[in-house]
């Protein structure tokens, strides 16, 4: 299965609040070991952090373009 197809399949199996439907979660996530799930969790957390930092970097660049000095 290609990554795009996997993403589409997961999106189809989400509830309105973006959580996985119970049946899908039990059938899909139940196939992974605890170590594999922990690895997936770490990868997801890294991606979330990367995206959050990207948003911060965009806002910093915008403020700097307006002449503001940004310090941490």
Q: 25-51, pLDDT tens digit by residue? A: 999 999 999 999 999 999 999 999 999
Q: 45-65, pLDDT tens digit by residue? A: 999 999 999 999 999 999 999
Model confidence, pTM: 0.77
**From the CB of residue 44, how many other CB atoms can be counted at a distance below 10 Å?**
10
Residues 15-24: contacts with CB under 8 Å, at least 24 apart: none
């Amino acid at each position: 299965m290609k990554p795009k197809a996997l993403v589409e399949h997961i999106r189809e199996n989400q509830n309105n609040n973006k959580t996985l439907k119970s049946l899908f979660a039990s059938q899909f996530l139940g196939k992974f070991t605890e170590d594999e799930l922990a690895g997936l969790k770490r990868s997801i957390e890294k991606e979330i952090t990367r995206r959050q930092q990207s948003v911060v970097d965009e806002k910093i660049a915008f403020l700097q373009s307006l002449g503001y000095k940004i310090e941490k």
